[in-house]
């Protein structure tokens, strides 16, 4: 297997992009990535596009062909594949591209992610998101996506002592980070009181505990590591790309306070990278709800079980802390166009490792991690990248 490097990145602004179509967004992100890598479309040999629900949001399927067509990549008739794993679609598209290059099957590959969510009403959007859980045994009996994570939050609070203020601090921190990110959907700073006094969604989760409905796209260019310097002076090397699965239904899980697929994927990634948790300088984790970030930093092994809330409140996961988490603003503030999130996480880590993150730069960052979750943990993808 060959080593793989990221040599180009692109990411649109995230938010309610009323004046841009699905096609506009993926073209914008793709062109940014190609320009960053100084690669022409004629050099691209394959494309993997993460997308969760264009069929439900746009009534458009056959997304792989659509992206290739409107990106001008049908001239060379390259293989273009849609990758779907609910909210982990982007992360899995990245892993698929890495595997294609590592195997020697292709040399220059684009991995991208895209979602256009705001062109439908909130009810249809929530119904689409509910399909990331078990439709028959959860959604059809009234379990919403926020409701499932609310159960996890309640269990975590009951069993491990996590407090309402600790949950709120996740949102406060990520909004602070997002305030420094020009791509972020929300760039406003908030307080713990803002979160606690926002409208109730599913007890104990309130509006500011939840990631928003978002439009956006992101893309990266992958090449064999030995060719990376042909494209850029600052390649970022892929040290690990790991995936794990679990039951799609929350009620079949071993625990409500952990996502076992996160632990397994992380163990595989660190073994593959031959690194320790203490060597990670910055991480982008899946904070679709505030409780999700607290569980993630525990399940990834950065902190002991039950310590996620206290260390967050103490500032250990903020920029300047022990391990900065979600410097982009995370899903909570940067936004969560579900198919694009896993790629956006990689874009943020690449910028951090290049030293290009501006006001949110983590000093001396050399190794970063991304953690992308599908549904309530049915799929988890973890990547480790290094300068």
C-alpha of 374 from chain center: 10
**Which residues fall within 8 angstroms of residue 107, CB to CB, at 6 or more apart?**
45, 101, 223, 224, 227
Distance CA 271, CA 284 (A): 19
H or E element: which one contains 330? helix 330-333
Judged by DSSP in three states, 139 sits in: helix
Which residue among the candidates 11, 87, 210, 334 is catalytic per the annotation? 87
Q: Report in angstroms the alpha-carbon separations of 279 from 109, 298, 366.
A: 28, 16, 9
Of 228, 4, 226, nearest to 94 by C-alpha is 4
Which residue among the candidates 286, 336, 371, 383 is catalytic per the annotation? 336
Q: Catalytic: 11?
A: no
Kindly state the tokens that stand for 384. Answer: 């480790």
Distance CA 319, CA 353 (A): 14
Distance CA 250, CA 376 (A): 7
Query: What single string gives the DSSP state of each residue in 69-127?
Result: HHTT-TTTT--EEEE-BTBTHHHHHHHHHHHHHHTTS-SSEEEEEEE--TTS-HHHHHH
Distance CA 247, CA 113 (A): 24
User: What is residue 325's DSSP assignment?
Assistant: B
Q: Catalytic: 336?
A: yes
**306, exposed or middle or buried, with CB in 10 Å at 0-12, 13-18, 19+?**
middle
Q: List the catalytic residues.
A: 87, 336
């Amino acid at each position: 297997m060959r080593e793989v490097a990221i040599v180009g990145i692109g990411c649109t602004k995230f938010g309610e992009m009323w004046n841009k179509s699905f096609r506009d967004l993926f073209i914008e992100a793709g062109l940014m990535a190609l320009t960053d890598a100084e690669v022409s479309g004629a050099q691209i040999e394959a494309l993997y596009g993460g997308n969760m629900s264009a069929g439900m949001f746009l009534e458009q399927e056959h997304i792989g062909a659509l992206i290739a067509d409107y990106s001008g990549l049908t001239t060379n008739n390259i293989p273009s594949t849609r990758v779907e794993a609910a909210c982990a679609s982007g992360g899995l598209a990245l892993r698929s591209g890495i595997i294609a290059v590592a195997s020697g099957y292709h040399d220059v590959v684009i991995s991208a992610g895209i979602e256009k969510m705001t062109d439908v009403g909130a009810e249809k959007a929530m119904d689409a998101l509910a399909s990331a859980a078990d439709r028959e045994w959860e959604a059809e009996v009234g379990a919403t996506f926020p409701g499932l994570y609310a159960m996890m939050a309640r269990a975590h609070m009951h069993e491990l002592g996590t407090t309402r203020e600790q949950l709120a601090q996740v949102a406060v921190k990520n909004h602070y980070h997002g305030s420094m990110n020009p791509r972020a959907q929300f760039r406003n700073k908030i307080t713990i009181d803002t979160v606690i006094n926002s409208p109730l969604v599913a007890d104990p989760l309130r509006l500011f505990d939840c990631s928003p409905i978002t439009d956006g796209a992101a893309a990266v260019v992958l090449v064999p590591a030995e060719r990376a310097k042909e494209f850029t002076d600052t390649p970022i090397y892929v040290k690990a790309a790991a995936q794990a699965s679990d039951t799609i239904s929350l009620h079949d899980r071993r625990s409500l306070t952990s996502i076992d697929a996160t632990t397994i994927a992380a163990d595989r990634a660190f073994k593959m990278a031959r690194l320790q948790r203490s060597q990670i300088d910055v991480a982008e984790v899946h904070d679709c709800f505030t409780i999700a970030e607290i569980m993630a930093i525990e399940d990834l092994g950065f902190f002991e079980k039950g310590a996620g809330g206290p260390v967050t409140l103490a500032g250990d996961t903020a920029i300047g802390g022990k391990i900065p988490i979600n410097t982009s603003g995370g899903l909570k503030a940067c936004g969560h166009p579900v198919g694009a999130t896993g790629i956006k996480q990689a874009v943020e880590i690449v910028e951090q490792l290049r030293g290009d993150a501006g006001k949110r730069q983590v000093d001396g960052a050399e190794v970063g991690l991304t953690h992308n979750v599908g549904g309530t943990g049915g799929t988890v993808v973890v990547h480790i990248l290094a300068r």
